[in-house]
A and B are shown apart, each in its own frame.
Chain A
Amino acid sequence: MPADIYLNVAVGGVLTGLVYGLMALGLSVIFGVVRVVNFAHGEMMTIAMYIAVTLFSAFHLDPLLMLVPIAAVLFAFGYVLQAGMINAFITRPEHSQFLLLVALAIIIVNVLLILFGPDAQSVQTSYSFDSFQIGPLIVDATKAYAGIAAIVVALALFVFFRSTRVGTAIRACADNYTGALVVGLDVKHLYALTFGLGAACVGAAGVMLVLIVDVTPPLGPAYTLLAFVIVITGGLGSMPGALIGGLLIGLTEAMAGLLFTPSAKSMFAFAILVLVLLFRPQGIMGKRTTS
């Protein structure tokens, strides 16, 4: 096999992994602060994908230009969801939260089926079939744009959490719930903001992913599972961990497909998860906790 094929496949895997990472980042942010596992994560991403498809087919609006507005819509959806529903479940047993979000996921899938039907839908922009050739390296243009956008969104999120007062307040809630209440922070509002930010992340990831894959309503559960694999590998609650986990899974799937058999790509991603759970249960970037 020619040597350049390894490079081509690796670059493709890294770019896809960046988008996976952004998607998982939303899940990690929500869990890291609110301590609620969003089992409707992939389904929320399909909502963003369908908004992008609808805007493109109705008004020819490029998904990349619509990234910020669609992320804003998902932010609002996430905020309302947390403020209106999930906040009431924060102090309830974990199985109640689990059932609530699984029910929400099932509702989203079925509403999308009713609205859009079972057929796959896609967006074909003017650059859908473009690729860049740099010597022997051929880079898929849509993957490159999606990967760059994922880096920009992730950086913006890091800056928000590190450099703004609201971001610092949210981190305070994550570190010490009682302490945050004592100093007078509006924790429920901050939780809703965090869930909104997580939803915006997955919305942005959905907009980028719709350039790479076709969307169908049942796509959501598959991506929820993928997001879990990534955040557990990277470290649940760790933002850099989510990105590193995404990169690792994207690269592993690509190289496993090349070196072994493409139909066993997912198997290798799960094998990594098993190894992490066995030898570093807190994840690559996660902190070891003592009970």
Chain B
Amino acid sequence: MKRKSPSKTARLTRRSFSAGLGAAGFVAGTAPFNIVRAQGAALKVGVLLPRSGVQAGIGQDCQRGVDITAGILKDLGLPALQIMNADTETNVETARARAEKLIGEGAQLLVGAFDSGQSSAIAQVAEQKGIPYVINIAAAPPITEQGYKFVFRNFPTAGMILRDAFVDQLQVFEITGGAPKTAVFMHVNDTFGMAMKGGIGAVMPKFNLPYKIVETIAYDPAARDLSVEISKAKATGADALLMVSRLNDAILLTRELVKQRWTPMTILSMGPGWYEDQYLKTLGKLSDGPLSFVPWYDPNKKLSKQLEAALAKTHAGVNLNVNHVYTFEALLIAADAYKRAGSTDPKALADAVRTTNIKDNVTIGPGIQFDAKGQNDKIVGGTIQNRGGKLITVAPKEAANGKPEWPLKPYDKRG
């Protein structure tokens, strides 16, 4: 068999190739000035998440929220999004560099980045380049206090989280008819833990809570053994444990509670750890009972059920959580704004995001709207309780799908 001569079969000559290359270069060179296109093409959304590094697990969990978005947006009649993934490597400087790169590669809107430090860096880039940025998760208040015009946050600030946590605590005590009189406050001594400690100290006195804090115990989130911490807490004889922790330490603390044969009346968690899937899977029946006061979703909303079904289909056995929900809503905001703007022009998109009014959403509260600072100040926090490997929303009443079980069932009577 003879190989055909390329010179006789190829229609592409060197001259036509050069002309094509020149044309392609011209188009590429003028592309930044030609970003207003007819709708139909997908909006290019750069999704920045910590997919590696210390927060890799959380970043990958947020990615699950991205994975289930496309089908739901289609069902809602919203335009498609072209997702451009980027890894912040759990590093502020990398987050900044990746945001710049995404914009350079044609991203028309940015979403991310779970962490306040990384989100702040991305916000600076987005504002400088004039590209709309929707924050999925980040609670540090200053991000939306800078007068930015292109930065929007659909997540409660630390102050809002604490306010709602105490409001919900009072509601839980009212529903159950029981309340602790004393509590030990245990917190991680990292940036998040110390900020929460300061916030709790400032916000708590404004609420007429039935308990007083009898001991405060700070500990290293990387600690390998928390037996002394629990011994110290147990010795106070307090009714409740008020926690600000992370995942691994939440597991270690629960193990120590069991080993040291101490079941407080309740565990009130004001942060991550106690409701996460790994906590539930690792501890089984011993994970039941703690109450977590966190930004959450309304399980009774139609879109929540749709999201739960989509997640069950793609990631069986994974409970819908804050990471999935808020990442999904950030993309929902992007698609909704694109539909209304009818354009990829950054300013038109930013104006459309600013006038967002989504009533049919997932998170607790009346819906998604932004104030003049770009903050959704309508979000309401929720209270969830672990039961049999599932997460039941017990407060606020309007979003609850179950009543709180009270008090904590003794660890030695769980079979």
Is A129 within 8 A of B259, CB to CB? yes
Does A65 interact with chain B (Cβ within 8 Å)? no
Shortest B267–chain A CB gap in Å is 17
- Point out the residues of chain B lying under 8 angstroms from A261, CB to CB: 217-218
Is B227 within 8 A of A12, CB to CB? yes
CA–CA, A118 and B248, complex, Å = 12
Shortest B230–chain A CB gap in Å is 10
CA–CA, A140 and B230, complex, Å = 13
Is B261 within 8 A of A138, CB to CB? yes
Is B261 within 8 A of A133, CB to CB? yes
Residue from the list B218, B224, B260, B278 in contact with A263, Cβ < 8 A: B218
Does B57 interact with chain A (Cβ within 8 Å)? yes
A13's nearest neighbour on chain B, judged by CB, is B228
Does B282 interact with chain A (Cβ within 8 Å)? yes
Is A120 within 8 A of B259, CB to CB? no
- Point out the residues of chain B lying under 8 angstroms from A281, CB to CB: none
CA–CA, A245 and B248, complex, Å = 28
Is B57 within 8 A of A119, CB to CB? yes
Is B260 within 8 A of A257, CB to CB? no
- Point out the residues of chain A lying under 8 angstroms from B226, CB to CB: 262
Does B189 interact with chain A (Cβ within 8 Å)? yes
Give the residues from 235 to 291 in chain A that come closer than 8 angstroms, CB to CB, to chain B: 253-254, 257-258, 261-263, 265-266
Does A88 interact with chain B (Cβ within 8 Å)? no
CA–CA, A138 and B56, complex, Å = 37
- Point out the residues of chain B lying under 8 angstroms from A182, CB to CB: none
Does A84 interact with chain B (Cβ within 8 Å)? no
Shortest B353–chain A CB gap in Å is 34
Does B229 interact with chain A (Cβ within 8 Å)? yes
Interface code A1-20, partner B: CB below 8 Å = 1, 0 otherwise? 11001001100110010000
Is B259 within 8 A of A258, CB to CB? no
CA–CA, A130 and B261, complex, Å = 9
Residue from the list B220, B228, B286 in contact with A9, Cβ < 8 A: B228
CA–CA, A30 and B248, complex, Å = 33
Does B38 interact with chain A (Cβ within 8 Å)? no
Is B218 within 8 A of A1, CB to CB? no
CA–CA, A7 and B56, complex, Å = 40
- Point out the residues of chain B lying under 8 angstroms from A2, CB to CB: 235
CA–CA, A253 and B226, complex, Å = 11
Is A257 within 8 A of B229, CB to CB? yes
A256's nearest neighbour on chain B, judged by CB, is B228
Number of B positions contacting A (CB below 8 A)? 31
Does B82 interact with chain A (Cβ within 8 Å)? no
- Point out the residues of chain B lying under 8 angstroms from A140, CB to CB: 227, 259
Does B306 interact with chain A (Cβ within 8 Å)? no
Give the residues from 327 to 354 in chain B that come closer than 8 angstroms, CB to CB, to chain A: none
Is B218 within 8 A of A129, CB to CB? no
Does A124 interact with chain B (Cβ within 8 Å)? yes
A133's nearest neighbour on chain B, judged by CB, is B261
CA–CA, A9 and B235, complex, Å = 11
Given contacts A118-B57, A119-B278, A254-B228, contact A214 B217 (CB under 8 A): no
- Point out the residues of chain A lying under 8 angstroms from B258, CB to CB: 129
Is B228 within 8 A of A214, CB to CB? no
Q: How large is the interface on A (under 10, 10 to 19, 20 to 34, 35 or more residues)?
A: 35 or more
- Point out the residues of chain B lying under 8 angstroms from A178, CB to CB: none
Does B231 interact with chain A (Cβ within 8 Å)? yes
Give the residues from 20 to 78 in chain B that come closer than 8 angstroms, CB to CB, to chain A: 56-57
Is A214 within 8 A of B251, CB to CB? yes
Shortest A22–chain B CB gap in Å is 16
Does A213 interact with chain B (Cβ within 8 Å)? yes
Does B378 interact with chain A (Cβ within 8 Å)? no
Does B219 interact with chain A (Cβ within 8 Å)? yes
Given contacts A2-B235, A130-B259, contact A120 B248 (CB under 8 A): yes
CA–CA, A266 and B222, complex, Å = 12
Is A265 within 8 A of B251, CB to CB? no
CA–CA, A99 and B178, complex, Å = 61
Is A129 within 8 A of B286, CB to CB? yes
Residue from the list A5, A12, A131 in contact with B235, Cβ < 8 A: A5
- Point out the residues of chain B lying under 8 angstroms from A110, CB to CB: none
Is B229 within 8 A of A262, CB to CB? yes
Does A122 interact with chain B (Cβ within 8 Å)? yes
Does A212 interact with chain B (Cβ within 8 Å)? yes
Does A128 interact with chain B (Cβ within 8 Å)? yes
CA–CA, A91 and B17, complex, Å = 64
- Point out the residues of chain A lying under 8 angstroms from B228, CB to CB: 9, 12-13, 253-254, 257-258, 262, 265
* Contacts A9-B231, A262-B218, A263-B220 supplied; 7 other A-B pairs, CB < 8 Å: A1-B232, A2-B235, A138-B260, A213-B224, A257-B228, A262-B226, A265-B228
Show 18 residue pairs from A and B whose CB-CB distance is below 8 angstroms, ordered by the A residue.
A8-B231, A13-B228, A129-B258, A129-B286, A129-B411, A131-B259, A131-B261, A140-B227, A213-B225, A222-B222, A254-B228, A257-B232, A262-B220, A262-B223, A262-B228, A263-B218, A265-B223, A265-B228
Q: What are the 8 A-B residue pairs with the smallest beta carbon separation, nearest first?
A: A257-B228, A213-B224, A129-B258, A131-B259, A263-B218, A5-B235, A263-B189, A262-B229
